[in-house]
Chain A
């Protein structure tokens, strides 16, 4: 039996209910898996991650958030705009952020918020590993976000990043976490992109109009139209 966790994205859980059941199974993202979310720039991948994170936080699942494009300040305000308030979760040590972006002003380092840099993957891995230990200490489940792997690939030897990604994936799974990794398709070597797909358990493609679940544990392929709204992504009925 495959256990799923609620995604936080409107319409997604309904789309991912496994078809052959007696109606007891719930949809969502399979627990303890890695999901690759890929597509062009600006189609809502970060929004997806925001909703996924907040869904976890509001159901007592801590989150380890690695951001490489948006700095944390931006994320904080974007999530506020969506109606998600992060303040209490940060105070409660439920949200751990690693800000590896290279733009804007950085917030001060604190136990739940650290900075790193995409050009220093070893440092990212060290901080992420510590972060995983920290969030999983008192929690049997947690959520992880890597938004995005693209920025890290662009600044380093791609194969080195694949190794770092593998380490990350192993640690998340070992600690009972469920993670989403975003990527801008076509920006890395085709071989690297195949490797990323190979390492992930589930693959979701978004293009601005349609969300396609290309592969998901316990599910066949699924497709649905979606919109980006002020409340985040909203999926329509399955096509």
Chain B
């Protein structure tokens, strides 16, 4: 089993990648996917394996620069003969080729990469990227070539990592590509009108039953793939039930008076906890008021993926306040769910009535809840998760 050393990925893969396996990293357009191939290669090189990068989207010198930005010295590994390039990019833009092998005609690709695979037995090859190949080869040729490469990889115990951006190709083609791989890792976007995050999940592996969890990540330079635990904010007007909500979904939450978020030490009264719901894991931050909310939003903006806005269903006077907070979330592209609390009381408004009174459009869910009676809370969390993983 060869470890990738990408956080959580080895766990999802049941320990790592068996020798000779083919792995397809398939990404929604907009997700940074090549880091997965590069980081795995780097980890393997550090453990003494040999490897190569086949590139048809960018010249080798740019890739060396990318590695440098990540904090990895690919140049040295190349000089030591541990790694080499198959340059399928330079010739086609009129730049001098670089690397052990180079491609000057697309008909050469199959054979040259095949040779590279046999050059690194028990090593790693990165194909960056498959999307660019499909248009340069004849239709139908791509799958045939992949199968030949994977066969050679299996025979040589070489791991092949394919980087693939899933543009809108024919479904049949995509299915055929996926079927010819030993392992599938999906890199997807989390969107709320704009891309607010990216996550990865192993969706198939011939050697193990992968965990069905998605993990959110960022690509850091330097650093590489870093996973993060998403932050969920709980906010709302005074007395809507925020603290109770946080305590309910994050049972071990604590109230904090002073903390340092990022660089700034600040006096904030907040409830902070950790929640787990059907495999989804998040840190929860309950904020007391608008000003603090703005502050927290700024500090956590990179990792905040959702917000629960509590409203007191019996007190329409507080609706404008809630509306301000919703607007703020909207502006920050944070998915949100309105939790209409205190449904147990006789004078509570229904979600539809609340929607009318607040003039909220139908895209934002309003979930009826009674924290007192412990009703509706699961539905509220499900509603937020549905938006995130849609």
Contact = CB atoms under 8 A, between A and B. Distances in A.
Contacts of A191: none
Interface in B80-112: 91-96
A125 interface: yes
Nearest to B90: A122
Nearest to B92: A160
B96 to A, nearest CB: 6
Contact of A167 (B91, B92, B93, B96): B93
A122 B92 CA distance: 9
A160 B106 CA distance: 13
A164 interface: yes
Contacts of B92: 160, 163
Interface residues of B, number: 6
A126 B96 contact: yes
Interface residues of A, number: 8
Q: Determine which residue in A122, A126, A164 has the highest number of CB atoms from chain B within 10 A of its CB, and name it.
A: A122
A121 interface: yes
Contacts of A167: 93-95
A180 B96 CA distance: 25
A163 B95 CA distance: 10
Contacts of B95: 122, 125, 167
A117 to B, nearest CB: 14
Nearest to B95: A122
Interface in B120-136: none
Contacts of A164: 93-94
A163 B96 contact: no
Contacts of B93: 160, 163-164, 167
Nearest to B97: A122
Nearest to B105: A157
A216 B124 CA distance: 54
Contacts of A125: 94-95
15 contacts: A121-B94, A122-B91, A122-B94, A122-B95, A122-B96, A125-B94, A160-B92, A160-B94, A163-B92, A163-B93, A163-B94, A164-B94, A167-B93, A167-B94, A167-B95
Interface of B: 91-96
Given A122-B91, A160-B93, A164-B93, 9 more contacts: A121-B94, A125-B94, A126-B96, A160-B92, A160-B94, A163-B93, A163-B94, A167-B93, A167-B95
Would you list the 9 A-B pairs with minimal beta carbon distance, nearest first? A164-B94, A125-B94, A163-B93, A122-B94, A121-B94, A163-B94, A122-B96, A167-B94, A126-B96
